[in-house]
Structure formats: structure tokens, C-alpha cells
Structure 1
Amino acid sequence: MHPRIPRQSAREQGGPPVGPDNDARLSAELAAVVSGARRRALRDGDRQIDTAHLLHSLLDADAEVYAVFEREPQLSRLLGYLVQRSIGYGLRWQGAVEDSGAVPVVATAEGFSPLAASAMEDACARAGSRGGGPARGLDLLAAILVDPGSRAVEVLTRAGIDARDVFVRLDERRPGGLWGRPPHLGH
């Protein structure tokens, strides 16, 4: 009998999230978030980390990200959808690659969906635009909210949380709105 959960290579289990030289671009907290997302993907039987895995791990492991959502009356619903992913909600995603086609895709990193790989790259770019330093959880949260077709945005929408409003709140936290508006927000 074969295990239900696909095995991941050593690189996928503990290697850098985007490429071998990119560990320095992530804060220790964000590296832990990626490790948590990798464990979730493996446990859920998914072959790739997607943006919903990243969102779930961000909410679990990053206090700054959790603080963005803690005043949302739908937070418990959001957490419920994320927890139910492996037992019902989200099962239709198994075996399918997350790629909405709305955002240019970077070369897919091993173990990541195209959108999750793009979000990781975008988070690092956002960290650079705010003056350097490693990417943090808020950088990744902003990056996964950019594509309205991402699984993370779908989960937020189903939970009754407007991803655009969350992005605007994040943007307002940065002096001068350094993150800019994603294309689906309009002006």
C-alpha cells in the first residue's frame, strides 16, 4: 500500500523556499512560516505549497499578520475554512496547480505553485522597496493578496473578508504607501 501523502525531497522539506541563495532574503519568522506551509501541504496531500497554505501558516505563526485580521468579525470563519481544507473545503484543489494567469509568473520554485512562487518573489521585492532587510510576514501577506484568483483570496472571500480592504489596511501601515495598489484594486 502506498502512502496517501506524496513524499517530498530533502530540499522540499527543509531547503530554501525559492532557491538555494535566497535564505538571507527571508526573516527567521518568514522562513518558519514557509516551513509550516510546507508541512501543511504535505499533510493535506498537496504536491505544492499554494497561497492558502501560506496564508494559514502566516496566521498561525506571525503575530503582525494575525493582528491585521484580529478585528475581523469573520476571523473564526476564515480559520475554520483553512482548518477544513484537508477534510472537505479545498479538496477540489488537490492535483490542480494554482495559477490564475492574472499575475506574471516567475520560474516556479520547486515545491511551490506558480502563484506562491510569485508571491515569495514579490514579498522579497516589497522588502527591498521599504529599504532593505529580509522579507517579513506582512510583505508576504501583501504579496498573496495581489492576485484575485489566488486560493488565499478565494478563502478570504468565502469567509466574508474583502482582500482589497485588507491590502489597503496593509498599504496604509507603510509610510507613503510603499507597496502600491495591486491591479485588481483600481484607483
Structure 2
Amino acid sequence: MPSRIPQQSAAESGPNRAELDAGLSAELASVVSGARRRALRDGDRQIDTAHLLHSLLESDPEVRAVFDGGPHVARLLGYLVQRSIGYGLRWQSTVEDSGAVPVVADAGWSPVAAGAMEAAQERAVLRGDEPARGLDLLAAVVAEPQSRAVEVLGRAGVDAGELLGRIETGFEEHVGRGDSGR
């Protein structure tokens, strides 16, 4: 069965799937795989930051822990499930684009999601710990105010700026101590 996410020419500008997947931990590779499956199942043209957020929440306990308790996570997952069963149909056939990054050439990534993947890998390098982890990706997704994930967070009553602050505080503590955060 052919993929419902269109494959674009590798000659176009932007990172390709192999480049985006190269610096990922096994756990984060699983998150990306889940986001990719979700996009296919939902019939979305591209993997966007909401797909990544959904997969992160389902599979990464460190990500869930940063949300200050279960009610926010439950509300977020509820909203994301509604989106995947049709609530978010207005997002289908559109491209998540902040205008700040070029359109991505491979694997059906939205420009914002591809930028978040690259930023997550950069965070891991700055921390002195590779590969990137779930919190690196969450921070990168939340830092982009035009991302669908930030819209989802807002609708679920989560302040993206406050969430990013909690993530960054932990990041600074780990960098200051020189450990990997594990």
C-alpha cells in the first residue's frame, strides 16, 4: 500500500529523514515512529508538532512529569485523541509553517516539526549529552509559538511559556552540574 504522506524530492532544500533521525535516542526514535504512524493513520499530509506532542505524552515519563500533575496530561491526551478522530480536520491538508524555516524535503515533515527535531539535537549537544531525549524535543516544540503543539497546549489550558520555563530550569541545572540529566 503506498504511503498517504507524499514523498518529495530529496533535491529540495531542508533536512531529510535520515538527518533528522540520526541524533535520536532509542526512546526518541520510538516517539518519532509513533508520530509518523499517527500522521499516516490520521491521513495528514505531514508529521507536525501535535503528532510529536501526542507521541511524547504517550511514551515518555520525563515529558509527562514536567506537566505538574496528571490533569493536564489527561486533558492534553483527550484533546489530541479528539483531533486524531476528526476534531482537527481543519488542520488536514494544510502545512504547519512558521515562515521561519524552509519547507522540508523528505518524510512529510512540517517545517516547524523538522526545525524542532534539529533544535532538540542541538539542545542535546549543548547539554553535552547525545543523543536527543524527549524533553529536548518537547522544549523545541514548545519554544515555537506558531506550532500546532502550542495551540493544542493552549486549548488544554497549559501555558507554553511556563512549561518551557520548567524544562529550561531543569536543563540549566543539568548543564551546570555537567551531567546528562539522567
Verify same fold: TM over 0.5.
yes
Unmatched 5+ residue regions in structure 1? Answer: 10-16, 179-187
Q: Does 1:34 align with 2:32?
A: yes
Instruction: Flag the 1:22–1:155 CA change in 2: closer, same or farther, 3 A.
Output: closer
Secondary structure, in 3 states, of the residue corresponding to 1:75?
Answer: helix
Q: Does structure 1 conserve the Cα–Cα contact (< 8 Å) formed by 2:20 and 2:114?
A: no
Equivalent pairs: percent with the same residue?
63
Equivalence for 1:98: 96
Q: 1:19, CA displacement in angstroms? A: 3.4
Of residues 121, 124, 127 in structure 1, which corresponds to 2:124?
127
Partner of 1:68: 66
Structure 2 residue aligned with 1:59 = 57
Q: Which runs of 5+ in 2 are unaligned?
A: 8-14, 176-182
* TM alignment of 1:29-178, pairs within 5 A: 29-69=27-67, 71=69, 73-101=71-99, 104-106=100-102, 108-110=104-106, 111-175=108-172
| Cα deviation, residue 47, structure 1 | 1.4
Q: What letter corresponds to residue 57 of structure 1 in structure 2?
A: S
Taking the aligned partners of 2:140 and 2:5, their CA distance within structure 1 comes to 28
Q: 1:22 to 1:76 in 2, by over 3 A?
A: closer
Secondary structure of the structure 2 residue equivalent to 1:74: helix
Name the CA shift for 1:114/1:23 in 2 (closer, same or farther; >3 Å). closer
Equivalent pairs counted in the alignment come to: 167
* RMSD across aligned positions (CA): 2.4
Q: What TM-score do you get using the length of structure 1 for normalisation?
A: 0.80
**Cα pair 1:106 1:118 within 8 Å, conserved:** no
Larger relative CO (CA 8 A, sep 6+): 1 or 2?
2
Contact kept, 8 Å, 1:33 with 1:61, in 2: the verdict is: yes
Measured in 2, the distance between the counterparts of 1:85 and 1:6 equals 18
Structure 1's 148 and 72: CA in aligned 2 closer, same or farther, altered over 3 A? farther
